[in-house]
Amino acid sequence: MADLPPPSGSPEPAARRGLLPAGVTTPADLARLLEAAGYLPDAGVATAAYLALALPRPLLLEGEAGVGKTALAHALARVLGAELLRLQCYEGIDASQALYDWDFPRQLLHLRAAEAAGGADADVLEAEVYSRRFLLARPLLAALETSPSVLLVDEVDRADDEFEAFLLEVLSDYTVTVPELGTVRAEVPPVVLVTSNRTREVHDALKRRCLYHWVEHPDFAREVAIVRRRVPEASAQLVAQVAGAAQALREQDLLKPPGVAESIDWAQALVALGAARLDADTATATLGAVLKYREDQERVRLDVAQLVARAVTR
């Protein structure tokens, strides 16, 4: 039925497209679904995710650590009911860790077993040894074979340049060729999210293929909503104070300003201590949940009272 053209005069003819879930025709629809999945996107993130699904195109996310780049991939996977396949990049990553590898020990065992069972035909044996069951699918191949799936290529800037070129090859036509086995093609292309921390410039060729979005820290109201959602046992007052203090900390000249992830940690730490509201003592005691540099901690500790006051008056 899906192949039939929509009847003329339908309210939303060409609207559902790409990998969008049924019923989603605007970024706001997708935002509602993401909210239900526990992720509160702003207009930019919602639009970026909507386009990534509608076009469909890989989405390159950049932003400070802890603004929710990886969390978006998890939420999208939940919304789509898809499996999340994560490829964590690191220096020196290569095809056998990202794409596929042959399971050599099992192949060898198979050969030995066949030999022990009595002379098998060499051609048959070879075909058996290089069959799908001895192929270990790494995240990229697994994403092509799984449908639906969300592929998260995390911290692509940590990998080498050569790896980017290789990634580009896979992302351009969603096929992987295993010489001994043939070509694996994705029936439905996976939703691809690529994150980068900008430790180096990602190559233009990769950027050109992707949508680009810079993820900002959330504003006060959104941060309150996010922390409330993630730490439901915290009181409304505590959450508002934590979010206010985090916003104030971001305005200060710190080595590592806290992200939303740190606000959530902080709220959890305060709840664990049984604090109903933020005051100078509890703030000092739990500062290690938000600030991870000694210099930053010392600087803020000098003026915790003011920080708390700013958080309250916000």
Partner 1 sequence: MSPPVPRRVPLVAPGASDAPPYDAVDSLVGLARTLRAAGTPVSPERVQAAVVAAAALHPGSREDLYWAGRLTLCASPDDLARYDRVFAAYFGDRPAALVRRPRVVRPGLRLAPGAAGEPGGDGDGEPDGVAAASSVEQLRHKDVARMTPDERAELGRLLALLRLPGEPRRVRRRTPAPRGPVDAHRTLRGWLAAGGEPARLHRERPSTRPRRVVLLVDVSGSMDPYADALLRFAHAASGRGRAGPPCEVFVLGTRMTRVTREMAHRDPDAALAAVAEACPDAGGGTRLGGLLKEFLDRWGARGLARGAVVVVLSDGWERADPQLLGEQTARLARLASRVVWCNPRKAAPGYAPLAGGMAAALPHVDDFVEGHSLAAYERLALVVRGWERAGPRHA
Interface contacts to partner 1, rule CB under 8 A: 10-15, 17-18, 26-27, 43-44, 47-48, 50-51, 54-55, 57, 62, 90-92, 94, 104-105, 107-108, 111-112, 115, 122, 129, 157-158, 160-161, 197-201, 204, 207-208, 211-214, 255-256
Q: How far is the CB of 30 from partner 1 (least distance, A)?
A: 11
Smaller CB distance to partner 1: residue 197 or 235? Answer: 197
Smaller CB distance to partner 1: residue 19 or 311? Answer: 19
Smaller CB distance to partner 1: residue 218 or 244? Answer: 218
SS3 of the chain: the string is CCCCCCCCCCCCCCCCCCCCCCCCCCHHHHHHHHHHCCCCCCHHHHHHHHHHHHCCCCEEEEECCCCCHHHHHHHHHHHHCCEEEEEECCCCCCHHHHCEEECHHHHHHHHHHHHHCCCCCHHHHHHHHCCHHHEEECHHHHHHHCCCEEEEEECHHHCCHHHHHHHHHHHHHCEEEECCCEEEECCCCCEEEEEECCCCCCCHHHHHHCEEEEECCCCHHHHHHHHHHHCCCCCHHHHHHHHHHHHHHHHCCCCCCCCHHHHHHHHHHHHHCCCCCCCHHHHHHCHHHCCCCHHHHHHHHCCHHHHHHHHHHC
Smaller CB distance to partner 1: residue 212 or 271? Answer: 212
Smaller CB distance to partner 1: residue 191 or 269? Answer: 191
Q: How far is the CB of 64 from partner 1 (least distance, A)?
A: 9
Q: How far is the CB of 95 from partner 1 (least distance, A)?
A: 12
Q: How far is the CB of 197 from partner 1 (least distance, A)?
A: 6
Q: How far is the CB of 20 from partner 1 (least distance, A)?
A: 9
Q: How far is the CB of 42 from partner 1 (least distance, A)?
A: 11
Smaller CB distance to partner 1: residue 57 or 222? Answer: 57
